[in-house]
Structure 1
Amino acid sequence: MGICGYFTVSWKCLVVLSFRLLFLVPAGLPVHSQGESQTDSKVMDNITVRQGENVFLRCAQGDIVTHTAWLNRSSILYAGEDKWSVDPRVSLVTLNQEEFTIKIEDVDMTDEGPYICAVQTSSRPRTTSVHILVQVPPTIINLSKDIVVNEGSNVTLMCQASGKPEPSLTWKLLSPSDAPSVSEGRDVGVTLGQRGVLECEVDAVPKADFEWYRDDRRIINGLDGMEIEDAGQLSKLTFLNISEADYGNYTCIAINKLGSSNASFVLYEVIEPTSSTLVQEGSTNVLLLSSSVLEKTSSETFALPAGPGAVQDGNSGSMGTHVHTYTCLLLVILLPFLLKF
């Protein structure tokens, strides 16, 4: 039946046959005893490469090399400088006394397996073998479509994935109730030239990302005197120096993969009272109160009952008493304002 049989050829048999075809050993070489090895063999470490990447197969040559070749599990790739493989992804990189290297581009699962570097020296053949392991990133190849079921019914969900090594699958429930929920916006009043802060607080799982808008224009952090600081569930929009143009409507939007939510804010102007404003308001109140007292005093004066001697004595005494009372009240009202100056 021959060395390797009629129908099955292992990679070891291929190596032997390749040596016989490529490396025609000249006659007259000494015959080795049956127990003596006629071939030096060396096994290299495995090479692990991801699908789609390139791999380099290197083989040390040594002195007095007459023939050299790279073989895979089923065919000869290179014999010296001659390419035997019809695969355009395979190419020769280096061939000299120190190194014999070939490259395989865009590695696929079909490239996985053993590779052998065969070297013929003046004394005996030598082989170096290496095994390529190809890793394939996990990919979901079949997934259940959306299903509508009645409450209390059973449901089966399917997920199939491929990859090498074999991927592990996990399921996670993403509840719609975990979509972002932004607290109601709180309007803020700030005086011109002061520092102002709008705060946006959200409740969200998973964590939400924040965006701030002035009308329909998105606010960029650090531009136009505005800074955005996100810390967990809270985002702050800070105005370093409020100007007239800063007053208006603002919107905070919280976004995660389950949805989004927003809240609106109004930044309005606050006018601080000055000393002249206080004096003016105080004077107005005093005048109003004085007028009220004067009217009351006048009404009481003219409402005194008439009687004998009222014209000579009663009117003059009563009028003097009320004028004195009015003067005292006026001093009491004005005294707090006079003490401020």
Structure 2
Amino acid sequence: MKGKGKTKKTGRGTLRHYMKAHWQLYAMIIPPVVMLLIFSYAPMYGLLMAFKNYRVIDGVWGSPWAAHFGMDNFIRFFENYNFLESLRNTLVISLYTLVVNTPCSIILALSLNYAKNVKFKKFVQMVTYSPYFISTIVFVGILNSIFDVRVGAIGSFVYNHFGLNVLGTPGLFSSVYVWSGVWQTVGYGAIIYIAALAGVDMEQHEAAIIDGATLLQRIRYVDLPAIMPTAVIMLILETGRILNMGYEKILAMQNQNNLSMSEVIPTYAYKVSLVSSFPDYSYATAIGLFQSAVGLIMILLSNAIAKKMTGDGFI
């Protein structure tokens, strides 16, 4: 018993001594932890609004609880005529983005990895990475200019030859949104995979060349297995954002013609909370909480599938 007591005391003493010896490192942790507590965890008490009939004058704690044991706002959302349409649009756009973004980033990374001309490689990297820094509103303004039916380089051609208004056709909205997103983010995504490819042992490539492997075979049997753990983690992170997409770009691209395919859950929540003449904050909070819950479930499912198929997972 004495031995155990001494061991515990020694352990605590060792930890205290370590913290005292490396206090600078712990001091560096304090600011981000404080910011995380203040701006991320403290506002989480606002989730109570989803279960209440929030009134500004009463505050979060003073507002009365919603009917049906606090679930009235969720029931209203599930019974709303916009629910299935907005959920469908959200899933279609998000899954479309997920299926397209990751392969495009990997293909660009592999292409740049095998580029012989260093200057050309850096030029392509810069050109594909630059759009990532364009603000959403400016980016949508560029899209409107390109696809304008009167003066747009692509929009006028498509309208004159096929009679289609690209930005006003509901069936084309998801494709315009997703592929314009690829243009904006593919360079950023490729950088992560280029970094992973830099860690591939060159001896494996040399051995493959000696064995007579072609370029495609080297990519398949050497490069892809090497970047697979990174790809799995990136895919899981992207899955977590499936239902939590930002509404700014969609809202900026939205018009009366494409509303049937562009109304997603975030834009609907925005309209009932901030734009409405009688904003319903409790209802909007319930919608946001529903998004987060489904996003968490999809992360856990994608992680379980990834572990079963590749042995790699995020959690």
Fold equivalence (TM over 0.5): no
Q: Which has the higher helix share?
A: 2
Q: Which has the higher strand share?
A: 1
Higher relative contact order (CA 8 A, sep 6+): 2
TM-score (norm 2): 0.19
